[in-house]
Structure 1
Amino acid sequence: MEAGVKEAGRLVDLWNEWGIQILVLVSFTLQVFLLIFGGIRRRSSSNALKFFLWSAYLLADSTAIYTLGHLSVDDRSDEHQLVAFWAPFLLLHLGGPDNITAYALEDNTLWLRHLQTLAVQVLGAAYVIYRYVADSVTLLLLASISMFVAGVLKYGERIWALNCGNISSITVSKFKPNPYQLLSMGTSEEEILLGAHSQFDICKGVFADIIMLPNPSVLSQSKPRSVISYMGEDLYKLVEMELSLMYDFLYTKAAVIHTWYGFCIHFISLLGTAITFLFFQIMIRRENGYSRVDLIISYILLVGALVLEIISVCRAILSTWTSSLLHRRGRGWEWPLHIITSFSRRVHPASRRLWSGSIGQYNLFHLCTRNRNEIGTRLAIKLGLQDWWNKKHFSGTFSHTNSLSIQDLKKLVLKALQDKDRALQDKDTDLDSRGSFVLKSMESYEDFARWSVNIDFDESILVWHTATELCIRKSKAKHAKYLTEASEVLSNYMMFLLVVKPDMLPGAARNNVHLASCEQIEGQCHVCFGDKDNPVAASPISWQPYYILKELFHHDGPNPSRIPQREKLAEMVWSFSEFALGSVRAPKPHGESIRDSANMYAVLLANELLSIELRWHEQRDLFELILGVWVEMLLYAAKHCSQVSHARQLSNGGEFITIVSLLAHHFKYYSGVSRGINNLSKNNSICENNKPICESDEKLV
Structure 2
Amino acid sequence: MRSEVIEAGKLVNLWNEWGIQILVLVSFGLQVFLLVFGGVRRHSNSTALMFFLWSAYLLADSTAIYTLGHLSVDSRSDDEHQLVAFWAPFLLLHLGGPDNITAYALEDNALWLRHLQTLAVQVLGAAYVIYEYISSSGALLLLASMSMFVAGLLKYGERIWALKCGNISSIRSSISIRKVKTDPYQLLALGTSEEDLLLGAHSQFDICKGVFADIIMLPNPSVRSQSKPRSVISYLGEDLYKLVEMELSLMYDFLYTKAAVIHTWYGFCIHFISLFGTATTFLLFQLSINSSGNRYSRVDVAISYVLLVGALVLEIISVCRAVLSTWTCSLLHRRGRGWEWPLHIVTSLGQRVHPASRRLWSGSIGQYNLFHLCTRNTNEIGSRLAMKLGLEDWWNKMHFSGTFPHANSSLSIQDIKKLVLEALRSKEQALQHQDTDLNSRGSFILKRMEAYKDFARWSVNIDFDESILVWHIATEVYIRKSKAKHAKELLEATEVLSNYLMFLLVVKPNMLPGAARHNIHLTSCEQLEGQCRMRFGDKDNPVAPSPVSWNPYYILKELFHHDGPSCSRIPRREKLAEVAWSFSQFALGSVRAPNPHGDSIRDNANMYAILLANELLSIELQWQDQRDTLELILGVWVEMSLYAADHCSQESHARQLSNGCEFITIVSLLAHHFKYYSGVFRGTDNLGEDKPASGNSPITENNPMSENCGNLV
1:673 Cα shift? Answer: 9.3
The 5 A counterparts of 1:249-268 are 249-268=254-273
CA separation in 2, counterparts of 1:6 and 1:431?
73
Aligned to 2:600: 593
Q: Which of 346, 349, 354 lines up with 2:360 in the alignment?
A: 354
The residue aligned with 1:142 is: 143
CA RMSD of aligned residues (A): 1.6
CA distance in 1, matches of 2:648, 2:316: 41
CA distance in 1, matches of 2:251, 2:343: 23
Whether 2:448 is the aligned partner of 1:435: answer no
Partner in structure 1 of residue 425 of structure 2: 418
Does the CA contact (< 8 Å) of 1:142 and 1:279 recur in 2?
Answer: yes
> In structure 1, what is the Cα distance between the partners aligned to 2:317 and 2:113?
28
Paired position in structure 1 for 2:694: none
Which deviates the most, 406-415 or 395-404? Answer: 395-404
Q: 1:672 to 1:231 in 2, by over 3 A?
A: farther
- Which residues of 2 match residues 417-566 of structure 1 at below 5 A? 417-566=424-573
Task: Tell me the distance in 1 between the aligned counterparts of 2:380 and 2:615.
Answer: 38
Give distance in 2, aligned partners of 1:475 and 1:169. 54
Q: How big is the shift at 1:7?
A: 1.3
Provide the C-alpha distance between the structure 1 equivalents of 2:353 and 2:367, rounded to a whole number of angstroms.
34
TM-score (norm 2): 0.93
Pairwise CA distance, 1:559: 2.4
Match of 1:175 in 2: 178
Q: Measure the CA separation in 1 of the matches of 2:101 and 2:217.
A: 29
- 2:79 is the alignment partner of 1:78: yes
Other structure's SS at 1:597 match: helix
Shift in Å at residue 334 of structure 1? 1.2
CA distance in 2, matches of 1:159, 1:590: 48
Deviations along 1:284-307, one digit per CA (max 9) or x if unpaired, are: 111121110110011001111000
How far apart in 1 are the matches of 2:178 and 2:593?
Answer: 51
Relative contact order: is structure 1 or structure 2 higher (C-alpha 8 Å, sep ≥ 6)? Answer: 2
Aligned to 1:691: none
Q: Tell me which amino acid in the other structure corresponds to 2:609.
A: A
Q: Aligned equivalents of 2:6 and 2:90: distance in 1?
A: 35
Aligned to 1:287: 292
Alignment of 1:78-477 (within 5 A): 78-171=79-172, 172-175=175-178, 178-221=183-226, 226-288=231-293, 289-347=295-353, 349-399=355-405, 401-477=408-484
SS in 1 for 2:219: coil
Are the counterparts in 1 of residues 493 and 634 from structure 2 also a CA contact under 8 Å?
Answer: yes
2:333 maps to amino acid: H
Contact 1:214 1:673 in 2 (8 A): no
Is 2:17 the counterpart of 1:20? no
1:9-60 Cα offsets, whole Å, 9 max, x none, are: 1111111111101110110011001000111111111111011111111110
CA contact (8 A) 2:183 2:227 kept: no
State the distance in 2 between where 1:223 and 1:42 align. 32
Q: Point out the more displaced range, 311-320 or 335-344.
A: 335-344
Maintained 8 Å contact 1:178/1:199: no
Amino acid paired to 1:342: S
- 602, 606, 628: which one aligns with 2:609: 602
CA apart distance, 1:335: 1.2
Contact 2:465 2:505 in 1 (8 A): yes
**Pairs aligned (count):** 677
Aligned residue for 1:397, secondary structure, equals: strand
State the alpha-carbon separation in 1 of the partners of residues 282 and 387 from structure 2.
59
| Deviates most, 345-354 or 140-149 | 345-354
Cα distance, 1:229 vs structure 2:
2.4
2:622 pairs, out of 598, 615, 620, with 615
Counterpart amino acid of residue 148 in structure 1:
F
- The 1:425/1:258 distance shift into structure 2, 3 A limit, reads closer
**Superposed displacement of residue 348, structure 1:** 5.7
- 1:654 equivalent in alignment to 2:694: no
Relative to 1, partners in 2 of residues 1:349 and 1:383: Cα closer, same or farther, differing over 3 Å? same
Corresponding residue of 2:641: 634
The AA in structure 1 aligned to 2:16 is N
Deviation of 1:222 after TM superposition, in Å, equals 6.0
SS at match of 1:170: helix
> Contact 1:178–1:215 at 8 Å: present in 2 too?
no
| Contact 2:188 2:197 (C-alpha < 8 Å) held by counterparts | no
**In 2 relative to 1, CA 59–347 (structure 1 residues): closer, same or farther, beyond 3 Å?**
closer
Distance 2:352 2:534 in 1: 65
Partners of 1:462 and 1:514 within 8 A in 2: yes
Kept after mapping to 2: 8 A contact 1:143/1:275: yes
CA distance in structure 1 between the partners assigned to 2:570 and 2:646 by the alignment: 34
User: Structure 2 vs 1, CA of residues 374 and 679 (structure 1 numbering), >3 Å: closer, same or farther?
Assistant: closer
Higher mean alpha-carbon deviation, 265-274 vs 330-339, is at 330-339
Distance of 1:210 and 1:29 partners within structure 2 = 42
SS in 2 for 1:213: strand
Note the C-alpha offset of 1:233.
2.0
What amino acid is aligned across from residue 308 of structure 1 in structure 2? L
Partners of 1:59 and 1:302 in 2: how far apart?
21
Which residue does the alignment assign to 1:625? 632
CA deviation map 1:148-204 (0-9, x unaligned): 000000000000000001122213111388523334431000110010000011111
Q: CA deviation at 1:561?
A: 2.3
Q: Structure 1: which 5+ residue stretches go unaligned?
A: 681-701
Q: What is the match of residue 676 of structure 2?
A: 669
**2:38–2:101 contact (8 Å) kept in structure 1:** yes
Sort the Cα spacing of 1:95 and 1:613 in 2 relative to 1 into closer, same or farther, 3 A. Answer: same
TM-fit CA distance, 1:346: 3.6
Aligned partner letter, 2:63: T
Q: Could you say if the C-alpha distance between residues 303 and 232 of structure 1 is closer, same or farther in structure 2, counting changes exceeding 3 Å?
A: same
Q: What per-residue deviation string (whole Å, max 9, x for no partner) do you get for residues 566-600 of structure 1?
A: 00110110011011111111011132100000000
CA shift for structure 1 position 670: 2.1
Percent identity of paired positions between Structure 1 and Structure 2 = 83
The 1:19/1:679 distance shift into structure 2, 3 A limit, reads closer
Secondary structure, aligned partner of 1:360 = strand
427-436 vs 565-574, which moves further:
427-436
Q: Per-residue CA shift, 1:456-504, capped at 9, x if unaligned? A: 1000000000000011100001111111110000000000000000000
Equivalent residue, structure 1, for 2:702: none
SS of the residue corresponding to residue 217 of structure 2 reads: coil
- Name the residue aligned to 1:5: 5
Shift of 1:405: 0.8
Q: Give distance in 2, aligned partners of 1:264 and 1:100.
A: 20
CA distance, structure 2, for counterparts of residue 67 and residue 51 of structure 1? 24
- The one-letter amino acid of 1:584's match is V
